[in-house]
Chains A and B, each alone.
Chain A
């Protein structure tokens, strides 16, 4: 039993998209722009040469926030979306009826339709591929060349992520909605 979360040192991100590739490879996510569990958001450089606003160019890696108070779980009519024993928000494909309410309710656009099962799919923190093998890492974290991501147990005060969150300032996306995300962006 753990309470998994992820810290992202997002300013280190170079938008190489290795995490997106690793996620697709590890979890068998279908090809296609809409089929993605994780993504890197990018802001372009603004302005015209030579007055370029390079500070505007930033990269923001993201995925399902595994909210403690997840709107997607609350709105699911069949309890197909549930919290597993490690606090990870999961989808039970046998119960999902594809009403798409969770996709509408998610404030982070973290869900998509898997064309093979015709059910909603999302990031699982690699729980059925890596965690199940006893590897406490995610594919996106493992492949990142600039070590943007740190994955671990938030309830363990000795874990790397807990120490990071105690020593570095951080914020969460759309925290004002009260969803209590478990993705933390380090500043």
Chain B
């Protein structure tokens, strides 16, 4: 019965542990276990100490976990957009990644929800009052509602893709894409609507979020296929990966262009608060080494100088790229809050306020990084349980034969 609804393999839990015991596989298994344990321990400490287990303060009320939530939902939207290139927009060479990418989109957003559930003080109350007392002017409300619909749509899309029902999968795929983009730009608006924060306020984030989501999607597709094929690609697969690399190069070029003008406008005229924040960000190692070097320049120059042909190097750079994307999310939150809202000292014997300091606690690190363990374990289970690659009845199976 269930197999009719969602085709899957019949496997035992024992079979999940019977993988090739190569050093890399053992390392990945060990890493996943450690990360999941970190998540469990972090959540345990949060349940004991509540929000006091986090390093957030009155002046810096959002921290690493909000950044990590954004990281996961950016990944999800990115994978959804890239998968839609194939089975919604019918780009032939992208068609066969559909199921794998959509499955990735589902598990990354679930991981994101797992993180945010322990950051929001009252998640159950949120579900109730978001419904019966909606604050429709709130970007968080819009984002929450749209992401819930998005998760439903991409789950249905995955089910119909697995059933080789391309009529319905395209419909749900299109719906998921539109709602996903709406939700994601709403997430950008959560920051863009902050009228009191000149560096963040404005149109940049809602647009930039879509662009950086697509970049994240490309990085993750490269990593998924690099891992699956152990860096040994045949001619057809190489052709597809070169397409992804070219797309990534274009997107990175646009991102670098966006960032250049964003910072130049922020600094130009030396407008108080905005220029101070921008100069602080530009001089920070998080931005220079994380965002700029790892997240943008290294992958971009590999693509540029090798004409997108050095796929293996690019896959290694994609790992660095994801670290860069993590810094982009962390800086998004920290840079928004770094400038104090009041510049006078309010307790005796303190120094006059300067830029606000924030340092995540071990609990925040454990939950945030631990959620990557959730993604990895779901991915491994999904890889074994579902048919993430095209199967014989899929209409593009013949094209895929050569890739296989």
Contact = CB atoms under 8 A, between A and B. Distances in A.
Interface in A81-108: 94-101, 103-108
Interface stretch (A23-31, A72-80, A134-142, A156-164): A72-80
B346 A41 contact: yes
B18 to A, nearest CB: 44
B152 interface: no
B139 interface: yes
Nearest to B343: A41
A174 B196 CA distance: 9
B387 interface: no
Contact of B336 (A40, A104, A112): A104
A118 interface: yes
Contacts of B56: 100
B207 interface: no
A40 B346 contact: yes
A104 B61 contact: yes
Contact of A107 (B59, B123, B190, B195): B195
Given A77-B144, A97-B126, A112-B58, A118 B196 contact: no
Given A42-B344, A78-B130, A100 B125 contact: no
Contact of A106 (B135, B138, B196, B336): B196
B341 interface: yes
B404 interface: no
B360 interface: no
Nearest to B200: A104
A113 B58 contact: yes
Interface string B86-126: 00000000000000000000000000000000001111011
A8 to B, nearest CB: 14
Contact of B133 (A33, A34, A62, A95): A95
Contacts of A76: 135, 138
B196 A97 contact: no
Contacts, number: 128
Interface in B36-64: 50-52, 56-59, 61-62
B337 interface: yes
B22 interface: no
Contacts of B126: 77-78, 97, 99
Interface residues of A, number: 44
Nearest to A36: B346
B340 interface: yes
A120 B70 CA distance: 23
B170 to A, nearest CB: 33
B355 interface: no
Contacts of B125: 78, 94-97
Interface of B: 50-52, 56-59, 61-62, 120-123, 125-126, 129-130, 133-135, 137-141, 144, 190, 193-197, 336-337, 340-342, 344-347, 352
Interface of A: 33-34, 36, 39-44, 60, 62, 71, 74-80, 94-101, 103-109, 111-113, 115, 118-119, 174, 177-179
19 contacts: A41-B342, A43-B352, A44-B352, A71-B194, A75-B139, A75-B140, A77-B135, A78-B126, A80-B133, A99-B120, A100-B61, A104-B197, A105-B193, A106-B196, A106-B341, A108-B341, A109-B342, A113-B121, A115-B52
